[in-house]
């Protein structure tokens, strides 16, 4: 049964090879000054920067640049971005990059006119925004997070060893996002597959929760099947437009709030992954892949029927002559084989996790209530340790 909900997603999408032309429609809606936010320079190498700048100039905008947004953006960088946005009196923040750049743009959006410390207000105390918000638009270059169509913004505080996401409301979601699958062709393989697993994890964390019959689970099974199919093609041929465009679209639907409506969700893998990220600064998708199999094997007995359904409907496991445990376990084994096939990190040690970090990682992990088994801190240690075998 679906629970009660309201649904609104205000982000306008421009999808396809000509998507950047959408800027001609969007930019005139905002004032003169644009904060152009980007990362460590990939957009200068692949030409996206030049194309975006040309349109900004054609539309007569004054551009203030804010580059060097790092993967897992830090609170120090956020303070710097706010200063730039204030000095430039910006009317629009244009994020050109992956989830880190889009998340950071949203953080600058809500923090520039905030009179309190934004890290404490939004990320530690999880308060709502009650000050002016600067509108955000995105040009996406890395697929995975869904940040292009949601209110999520994850910021890392390296001193406090905390990586925390705040999910802001509709008013903070990007006003528009430009999705051109061709932009993702230049991603290094490690980032590409990390993004694939981020997508899978987003879907699984919404799928493995609750036991009721609801439409979202069927939608998610379809998204998963399409992801598995297209990922295999993209790994062999990264410039296969059909596969890359499907994956871009799946990523957006996996985390634009739609499939979570009316149902409970888990998110514990993300909580563990984020804490590992705070300690190691590792690639987000790989922090998730390293702990997923140990986590799902651990909780499987508590949600056996759903794991059985996952095995049959997503991985085509033949149930004949097998008991529920065998069917469910075969599903997870198929998932593990796919993870190894596409080249994901399966061992947390490879990300820099050491035994000395385990207690801290468990302390930094938020323990949520929506999964099939509510974890204790000892469970978190056990799961990460298992990933280190």
Of 74, 109, 112, 150, the one binding ligand NZQ by CB under 6 A: 150
- Give me the residue whose beta carbon is nearest to Zn ion: 198
The verdict on 166 binding ligand NZQ (CB under 6 A) reads no
The verdict on 205 binding ligand NZQ (CB under 6 A) reads no
Of 40, 158, 238, 343, the one binding ligand NZQ by CB under 6 A: 40
Which is nearer to ligand NZQ, 46 or 226 (by Cβ)? 46
Which is nearer to ligand NZQ, 259 or 328 (by Cβ)? 259
The verdict on 81 binding ligand NZQ (CB under 6 A) reads no
Which is nearer to ligand NZQ, 224 or 317 (by Cβ)? 224
Window of 122-130, 147-155, 197-205, 342-350 that interacts with Zn ion by CB under 5 A: 197-205
Q: What are phi and psi of 141, to 5 degrees?
A: -120, -10
The verdict on 289 binding ligand NZQ (CB under 6 A) reads no
Which is nearer to Zn ion, 198 or 268 (by Cβ)? 198
The verdict on 174 binding ligand NZQ (CB under 6 A) reads no
The verdict on 46 binding ligand NZQ (CB under 6 A) reads yes
Window of 56-64, 90-98, 131-139, 191-199 that interacts with Zn ion by CB under 5 A: 191-199
Of 134, 142, 220, 381, the one binding ligand NZQ by CB under 6 A: 142
For the chain, give the secondary structure using H, E and C: CCCCCCCCCCCEEEECCCHHHHHHHHHHHCCCEEEEEECCCHHHHCCHHHHHHHHHHHCCCEEEEECCCCCCCEHHHHHHHHHHHHHCCCCEEEEEECHHHHHHHHHHHHHCCCCCCHHHHHHHCCCCCCCCCCCEEEEECCCCCCHHHCCEEEEEECCCCEEEEEECCHHHCCCEEEECHHHHHHCCHHHHHHHHHHHHHHHHHHHCCCCCCCHHHHHHHHHHHHHHHHHHHHHHCCCCHHHHHHHHHHHHHHCCCCCCCCCCCCCHHHHHHHHHHHHHCCCHHHHHHHHHHHHHHHHHHHHHHHHHHHHHHHHCCCCCCCCHHHHHHHHHHHHHHHHHHHCCCCCHHHHCCCHHHHHHHHHCCCCCCCCCCCCCHHHHHHHHHHHCC
For residue 331, the partner it binds in ligand NZQ, Zn ion, none, with Cβ less than 5 to 8 A by kind, is none
Residue 266 CA neighbour count, 13 Å, CB half: 25
Window of 25-33, 192-200, 359-367, 380-388 that interacts with Zn ion by CB under 5 A: 192-200
- Name the minimum Å distance from CB 245 to ligand NZQ: 14
Site map 240..259 versus ligand NZQ, x via CB under 6 A? ---------------x----
Q: What are phi and psi of 237, to 5 degrees?
A: -135, 90
Question: How many chain residues touch ligand NZQ (CB under 6 A)?
Answer: 35
Query: 174: phi > 0 → left, psi -120 to 50 → alpha, else beta; which?
Result: beta
For residue 387, the partner it binds in Zn ion, ligand NZQ, none, with Cβ less than 5 to 8 A by kind, is none
The distance from CA 163 to its chain's CA centroid, rounded to whole angstroms, is 13
- Name the minimum Å distance from CB 191 to ligand NZQ: 4
- Name the minimum Å distance from CB 330 to Zn ion: 26
Of 26, 103, 148, 198, the one binding Zn ion by CB under 5 A: 198
Residues that bind ligand NZQ (CB under 6 A): 39-43, 46, 71-72, 97-101, 103, 141-142, 144-147, 150, 152-154, 165, 183-184, 186-187, 191, 195, 198, 255, 270, 284
Residues that bind Zn ion (CB under 5 A): 198
């Amino acid at each position: 049964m679906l629970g009660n909900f309201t649904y609104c997603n205000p982000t306008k999408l421009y999808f396809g090879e000509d998507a950047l032309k959408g800027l001609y429609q969007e930019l005139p809606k905002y004032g003169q000054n644009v904060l152009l936010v980007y990362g460590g320079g990939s957009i200068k190498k692949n030409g996206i920067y030049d194309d975006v700048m040309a349109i900004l100039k054609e539309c007569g905008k004054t551009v203030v640049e804010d580059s060097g947004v790092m993967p897992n953006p830090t609170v120090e960088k956020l303070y710097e971005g706010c200063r730039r946005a204030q000095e430039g009196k910006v009317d629009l923040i244009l994020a050109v990059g992956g989830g880190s750049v889009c998340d950071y743009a949203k953080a600058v959006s809500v923090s520039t006119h905030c009179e309190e410390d934004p890290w404490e207000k939004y990320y530690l105390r999880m308060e709502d925004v009650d000050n002016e918000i600067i509108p955000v638009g995105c040009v996406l270059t890395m697929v995975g997070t869904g940040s292009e169509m949601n209110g999520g913004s994850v910021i890392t505080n390296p001193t406090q060893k905390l990586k925390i996401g705040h999910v802001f409301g509709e008013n903070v979601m990007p006003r528009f996002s430009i999705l051109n699958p061709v932009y993702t062709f230049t991603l290094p393989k490690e980032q590409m597959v990390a993004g694939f697993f981020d997508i899978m994890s987003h879907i699984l964390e919404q799928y493995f929760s609750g036991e009721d019959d609801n439409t979202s689970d069927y939608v998610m099974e379809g998204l998963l099947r399409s992801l598995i199919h297209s990922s295999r093609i993209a790994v062999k041929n990264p410039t296969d437009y059909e596969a890359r465009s499907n994956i871009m679209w799946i990523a957006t639907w996996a985390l634009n709030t739609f499939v979570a409506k009316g149902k409970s969700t888990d998110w514990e893998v993300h909580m563990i992954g984020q804490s590992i990220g705070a300690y190691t600064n590792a690639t987000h998708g790989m922090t998730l892949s390293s702990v997923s199999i140990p986590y799902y094997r651990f909780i499987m007995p508590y949600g056996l029927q759903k794991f059985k359904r996952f095995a049959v409907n997503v991985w085509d496991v033949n149930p004949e002559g097998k008991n529920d445990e065998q069917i469910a376990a075969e599903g997870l084994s198929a998932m593990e084989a796919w993870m190894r096939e596409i080249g994901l990190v399966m061992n947390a040690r490879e990300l820099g996790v050491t035994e000395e970090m385990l207690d801290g990682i468990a302390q930094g992990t938020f323990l949520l209530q929506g999964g099939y088994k509510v974890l204790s801190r000892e469970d978190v240690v056990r799961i990460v340790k298992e990933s280190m075998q």
